[in-house]
Amino acid sequence: MYRNGNHCQTWFYITIFGYNDKVWDAPSYSYTKRLLYCIGRFKKERFDSHVRERLTDLTNSIKKDDTISRLPSTIEILSPVLSRRAAESKLVKCIAKLLDALPRIPIAEDIYEFELCHRFLSPVFSALFDDPDRNVLFRWTSITNQEAKAEPQGQGVISRHRSDGMVSELDGAFFDRTLGFVEVKCSHEAKNKHAMAKDQVRLGVLSKNALDKYHSQSCLSVQVIGYTITFYIQSMEADGLYTMTELLHVQAPSSLQTLPQFMAHFDDLLAVLDCFNDFCLMDQSPGIGRKRPTLSDDHSNDISSRPKSCKRRSYTLQ
């Protein structure tokens, strides 16, 4: 996490917790305690080891033999999906999509944001969060998010700027509640800490606005830097207090060679999926009357510095 980004989050009544942060002595953070307890409980529910071994063996055989067609392999992977529980089926489907999309070896040239999203990240996010049967869609967006449309014009680029991706709930033929946001930066931008911190702040503000608009209890946030994916869940903890809890860091595969390392995190990804289902999809405890107005971008820019050089410190005015 970036210190400047964490400081900026406090302007919007948001407190960030890492998974290993000690919050057990703080009586106000009862919801975060329950969330962290459930993460630990979910992590004990391990992904089926026999299925994992089968997926790994199939991936290794495709890597070693160029003559093996990927289409029959993906069909073979998907054949037992119906017998798995929903979260495990999503992970199996994720591997099938990655097998169909990934190159055999890592690409040496720079991968820019559009290609990173659609070739390397889309198979992961669409498999994990896209569920049309439950009216839940993952989508790459290029418009102003629904929550910002209700805000006054001229708010700037933090709260009104579109997110790169969204998880949305459908109400008939229209998009309704927003369940999660995704911000992506490609690998060659990883040294730009100003942009990284700004993305983290944007995720916090977009999630806060979604909680305020729909009176939800939690909202998922995902920050991607290159192939590194960080999952957060943001919730309304108490009167005027929003917490952003870090769930997991994981490396998205860049080729078939790194796909087995991604499968090693299936237990952690199961925990993320279970938390998303329990706290974002299912838990809709109202928070009416406890929300706080979002600080405008003009005001936040007035108390933050403009330096973008990695050799100079990015600071906030006290």
Residue 138 has pLDDT above 90, yes or no: yes
Where is average pLDDT lowest: 6-10, 37-41, 172-176, 179-183? 6-10
Mean pLDDT of the chain: 76
Q: How far apart are CA 290 and CA 216, in angstroms?
A: 12
Q: How far apart are CA 166 and CA 239, in angstroms?
A: 27
For residue 59, the one-letter residue type is T
pLDDT of residue 212: 83
What are the pLDDT digits (tens) for 158-201? 555 668 899 999 988 888 889 999 999 988 888 877 788 888 88
Segments in the chain forming alpha helices (H): 3-10, 30-43, 49-64, 70-78, 86-101, 113-115, 122-129, 146-149, 193-214, 259-263, 266-275, 297-302
Percent of the chain with pLDDT over 90: 22
Pick left, alpha or beta for residue 156 (phi over 0 → left; psi -120 to 50 → alpha; otherwise beta).
Answer: left
Where is average pLDDT lowest: 149-153, 172-176, 296-300? 149-153
CA-to-CA dists, residue 166 to 44, 134, 162, 247, angstroms: 29, 16, 9, 18
As a whole number, mean pLDDT of residues 204-224 equals: 87
Is 205:158 a contact under the CB 8 Å cutoff? yes
What are the pLDDT digits (tens) for 250-287? 999 999 999 999 998 988 898 889 888 888 876 555 55
Residue 156 has pLDDT above 70, yes or no: no
Banded pLDDT at 24 (limits 50, 70, 90): very low
pLDDT of residue 136: 93
Overall pTM surpassing 0.85 (yes/no): no
Q: How far apart are CA 94 and CA 239, in angstroms?
A: 39
Where is average pLDDT lowest: 29-43, 72-86, 121-135? 29-43
